[in-house]
Each structure stands twice: as structure tokens, then as C-alpha cells.
Amino acid sequence: MNTFRVHLLSANRTFYEGECESLVIPAVDGQYGVLAGHCNTITALVPGKLSFRAPGQEEQEVAVSAGIMKIEENDVLVLADSILRPEEIDEERAERELAMAKEAMLQKLGRQEYLSAQAQLARAASKLKIRRSYMRGGRQGK
């Protein structure tokens, strides 16, 4: 199968760099898939599930925050504030973040504060969804 080079980078670490057979990111207008030979592009990531498959390995699913993806000459760069494996997600903390974001959105906030709470809500909901899906799959985690 054809592969392409991928760089999954978060603010505090290099999550994965290497060959990749497929990549699916959460984008503003839905899921965005990438295979070898994809045309050059730049797009925004939204909080959600990112999945990728390295050659000879099972597909991996991770939680990703907002960021960007750039594809250039069969080389894909994903930059995100955070990229977390399901087992790295603290479910209780994510639930607290979700509750705080919901409460903040109910307050009479200015536009900037509302948008910030909305982004926090999306990040927390994404983490919980990925963590719970991982746990339902019978995998061990924290």
C-alpha cells in the first residue's frame, strides 16, 4: 500500500512521526481523510477524534484539540494544542471540564468568553467520547 510521511505534533511533544497509510482528522466541515498522493492543502482541525494507520499496525484513535493540518508533496504536518491517547485521558477531569464549560456557557458572558467556553466544551466532550469508546472496547486504561 502507498504511504506518506506524517508528523503529529502537539504543543508539548512529538506524538508520532513516520510513515502512514491513512489519516482522518476532525475538520470544521466534518471528517477529512488523507491517503498517499493527496493534493496540497491546509485546513483547520477542531476538537475530536483523529485516527491514523502506520504500516503493519492497527488503526490508532486519539483525541486532538484545535489546530491545523498542512499537506505538501506527500508530507503531512498536524499541529494541535494537545494529542492524547485514550489511556492518557483522565475521565474525571474531563467530566469536570465539561461541567465547568456548560456552566460558563449558561452565564451571561461576552462573546469572547462564550467562544472560549464553547471551545472548552468541545475539547472535554471529545476527550470523554474517545476515552469511553476505548473503555467499551475492553481495553485497559487508567
pTM exceeding 0.85: no
Looking at the fold, whether 62 and 108 belong to one and the same domain comes out as no
**Position 65 in a domain:** yes
Q: What would you measure as the largest C-alpha separation in the chain, in angstroms?
A: 53
Q: Are residues 59 and 125 in the same domain?
A: no
What are the pLDDT tens digits along the chain (142 aa)? 699 999 999 999 999 999 999 999 999 889 999 999 999 999 999 999 999 999 999 999 999 999 999 999 999 999 999 999 989 888 899 889 889 888 888 886 788 888 888 888 888 888 888 888 877 875 544 3
Instruction: Tell me the helix, strand and coil percentages in the chain, rounded to 5.
Output: 30, 40, 30
Residue 20 lies in a domain: yes
> Domain end: 47, 62, 84, which one?
84
State whether 21 and 66 are in the same domain.
yes
- Domain extent at residue 16: 4-84
Number of structural domains in the chain: 2
